[in-house]
Amino acid sequence: MTDSQISLRADSLPKASLSLERRYSLLGLLLIAPTVLVLSAVIVYPLCFAIYLSLFSIYTPTLQGSWVGLDNYAQVFGSGTFWFSLFVTLIWTAGTLFLQIVFGVAMAVILNQNIFLRSLARSLVLFPYFISTVVAVLAWRWIFNDLYGILSFILIKIGIIDMPLDFLGSMPNAMVSVIAVGAWKFFPFVVIAVLARLQTIPEQLYEAATMDGAGPIGRFFDITLPQLRDVLTIVILLRAIWDFKEFDLIFLLTGGGPLNNTRTLPLIVYQEAFGLNRMGMAAAYAVAMMLIMLAFMLIYLHRARERPA
């Protein structure tokens, strides 16, 4: 290409991207192409397909179905099942989220101190998060066991109760147990995130507060907590979303019982699809669940952004 051709192009189109820039852009697109491919094929497509499915009534084993339009949704929103399950889900989410955050922050603060064998302590605290939910459930169901479980035994020995408790088979025990196990399993996520942030708070802030007369509680609420605001905003959002859609833990612990009292929305979806063999209905429940999550997310983000920085 001659110089005059280049100058013509460059000068007359000041805003057009020149070919070196365009070459780089194309390379960038090439590199992200596999990601886009995979995600489109196995997330975007199924998502759209799920919404499509929800407009049919489908018999799972044969995958035969017929169009029902919005009938599934009418049933979902019209019946008490959905709303009760939503209620259960909200109780579970709020309960376990609260415990995760409170214990997460508390544990992070404690682990931030100079403790004997600190890294070992940290490892032990983080471990529950990284084991499989299956392992966690097996461990806890063994502990909760009414005949051989150690928990009832300890509680009786201390004197809190005098008969073994049915931890998973009656209410409100089942919900409490599920919330507690959920907190135990997932709170280390909060610990890691908060601990990382705690370690960046300059010591001088605490020293200044001490000189101004603040005690440990005062320092926590006036220095530590405000510094944690940003991390906690994100952590709360993430954990709330993940807790809300949690399936494995509750399914394996109680299966949704007793009498559907711990049957959260994800469990309903599974049961509709593979228990009642109504795949279209399951899809409708799933879509409804996502809409609710989306609504909460938007409200939360809106509130979080509104607060002065």
Query: Does the footprint of other proteins cover residue 8 (CB under 8 A)?
Result: no
Distance CA 182, CA 23 (A): 50
| 176 lies in the site for other proteins, by CB under 8 A | no
Helical pair 150-158 and 133-144, crossing angle rounded to 10 deg: 40
Structure tokens at 257: 């019982």
Find the binder of other proteins among 75, 145, 173, 260 (CB under 8 A). Answer: 145
Shortest approach of other proteins to residue 100 CB, angstroms?
A: 13
By the 8 A CB rule, do 211 and 170 touch?
no
Residue 38 C-beta: closest distance to other proteins, Å = 6
Burial 229-267, CB ≥16 within 10 A → b, else e: eebbbebbeebbeebbbbeebbbbbbebebebbbbbbbb
CB of 69: closest distance to other proteins in angstroms? Answer: 18
Contact code string over 59-98 relative to other proteins, x by CB under 8 A:
----x-----------------------------------
179 in contact with other proteins (CB under 8 A): no
Judged by phi (left if over 0) then psi (alpha if -120 to 50, else beta), residue 181 lies in alpha
Give the interface segment with other proteins, choosing from 17-25, 74-82, 171-179, 219-227 (CB under 8 A): 17-25
Window 218-237: contact mask with other proteins (x via CB under 8 A)? ------------xx--xx--
Is 286 an interacting residue with respect to other proteins (CB under 8 A)?
Answer: yes
* Chosen residue from 90, 91, 214, 293 binding other proteins by CB under 8 A: 293
Which helix (H) or strand (E) is 56 found in, with range? strand 56-59
Structure tokens at 72: 């599934």
**Sign of the torsion formed by the C-alpha atoms of 283, 288, 294 and 300:** negative
Residue 102 near other proteins by CB under 8 A = no
Instruction: By CB under 8 A, name the one of 66, 80, 116, 307 that touches other proteins.
Output: 116
- Counting residues that bind other proteins (by CB under 8 A) gives 102
d(CA 183, CA 129): 10
Residue 289 near other proteins by CB under 8 A: yes
Smallest distance, other proteins to C-beta of residue 95, A: 18
